[in-house]
Amino acid sequence: MNGGIRSYEFAKRLAVSGHEVVMITSDNENKFSGWKVEKLDGFEVHWVSVKYDNSYGFLKRLWAFIKFLVLASIHICTLKSDKLFVTSTPLTVAIPALIYKLVKRKPYVFEVRDVWPEVPIALGIIKNKVLIQVAFLLEKLAYKNAEHIVALSPDMKNSVLERCGNATVTVITNAADCHLFNLSLPSNDVFLRKLNKIKENHKKVVFYTGAFGLVNNLRSFIKLSSFSDGEIGFVIIGQGKEEGELKEYAKELSVLDKKLYFLPSVNKNQLSFVHSTFDMATSTVLPIDALYANSANKVFDAFAAGTPLLINHDGWIKELIERSKCGLAISNDPTVDDFYTLRGFLFSEERYNEACEASLTLGQNEYNRERLFEELLSVIEVEAE
């Protein structure tokens, strides 16, 4: 499922390594009463129905978070376990862990997948001073009571240590699943035909995959496309609350369905087709420091596929690009100069091939799923002794 790949891949490997794994999660699409339990690839999944969508406003999202934490807190207290592994966002998932620790006297490992609540505060989503204080208090309690903290980037680790300087923190980024990419292409797949039709109209194609949310700053990507004379095409793949506004902005710039195209969300197999057909992957965010700590799946999908990466922000990923030469970083508010920098990169056979090789090397080595799982396993098993 979209966004669930990390939890699934690690849970599956934990089960293979000999652990009994029970995952507590929500079904955001189907409505049913009670808890639905099923076996999946060696581990057990307990589902509760909680409707949620990226298009929801703040209060509706908050209600979904509260509903899940209440139901999950009650449910997990009926289960026996030696340890909890709690993965955030949202930060409210720490509450069931804190309750379980209090009731069952069992430890938990807390995984920080985003610098929350810093991000919603920086975006102005949380403005109430009392709510802000409550959010920071919950963050402090979550860190302080965790037996170990897993951060998804070096910048997230630094954020945790600023709040809780004596915490034990291990960085385990998102991972590259190389086996899911560079697959053989089917001869008559409908989706692949769509990709090829776009590709036929342009010498090079740059693409974005993921959510269409405020933080993703896809206006930056659309503005970049407006400088193209058609040699380079741009594709946005996914869904989200900003979709209508983004399409209107693309119309204003006269690029929609000419230089820039929208396609619906894809599964992992189709994502492999995207990387095989197009030329450069993109990860964009708003110009907010808290967002530069991100560890977006799309970045590691690029590494798994050996696709060069384009970003529009500072932070650890920019430093990684500069060190490895796996891609290109441009300004958050792109100019025609940024476009020509991109054009020069794409049409330089030497630089482009070097970036492809560097990207794949990162995926196969430094950010390989198997290697990162071994790090996670050592955190869980050493702390369990």
Three-state secondary structure readout of 269-331: HHHHHHHHHCCEEEECCCCCHHHHHCCCHHHHHHHHHCCCEEECCCCHHHHHHHHHCCEEECC
192 and 292 housed in the same domain: yes
Q: How far apart are CA 376 and CA 12, in angstroms?
A: 13
Tell me phi and psi for residue 312, to 5 degrees: -125, 35
Query: In the prediction, which pLDDT does 148 show?
Result: 96
Report residue 295 as tokens: 């560890």
32 and 116 housed in the same domain: yes
Full domain range(s) for residue 247: 178-364
356 and 302 housed in the same domain: yes
Overall domain count for the chain: 2
Which residue from 305, 293, 141, 312 is spatially nearest to 225, judged by alpha carbons?
A: 312
- In the sheet that 22-27 helps form, which strands lie side by side, from edge to edge? 22-27, 43-49, 35-40
283 and 186 housed in the same domain: yes
Query: In the prediction, which pLDDT does 126 show?
Result: 84
**Angle ∠(42,48,50) on CA atoms, nearest 5:** 130
333 and 378 housed in the same domain: no
Q: How far apart are CA 255 and CA 187, in angstroms?
A: 30
Amino acid at 334: P
H-type alpha helices, the chain: 5-16, 58-76, 94-104, 118-122, 129-145, 154-163, 190-200, 218-225, 243-252, 268-277, 297-305, 316-324, 336-346, 349-364, 369-384
Residue 313, domain CATH: 3.40.50.2000
**H-helix or E-strand spanning residue 183:** none
204 and 341 housed in the same domain: yes
Radius of gyration of the chain (CA): 21
284 and 357 housed in the same domain: yes
41 and 138 housed in the same domain: yes
Query: In the prediction, which pLDDT does 77 show?
Result: 95
pLDDT tens string, the chain, 385 residues long: the values are 666 789 999 999 999 999 999 999 999 889 999 999 999 999 999 999 998 876 777 788 888 888 999 999 999 999 999 999 999 878 889 999 999 999 999 999 999 998 888 888 888 888 889 989 998 999 999 999 999 999 999 999 999 998 888 899 999 999 999 999 999 988 889 999 999 999 999 999 999 999 998 899 999 999 999 999 999 999 999 988 899 999 999 999 999 999 999 999 998 889 999 999 999 999 999 999 999 999 999 999 999 999 999 999 999 999 999 999 999 999 999 999 999 999 999 999 999 999 999 999 999 999 999 999 999 999 999 754 4
Report residue 331 as tokens: 């300004």
Which residue from 299, 362, 284 is spatially nearest to 325, judged by alpha carbons?
A: 362
160 and 86 housed in the same domain: yes
- In the sheet that 204-211 helps form, which strands lie side by side, from edge to edge? 260-263, 232-239, 204-211, 280-283, 309-311, 327-329
Query: In the prediction, which pLDDT does 155 show?
Result: 94
Given the DSSP bridges, would you call strands 327-329 and 260-263 parallel, antiparallel or unpaired? unpaired
Which residue bears the tokens 């050493």?
382
Query: In the prediction, which pLDDT does 385 show?
Result: 45
360 and 220 housed in the same domain: yes
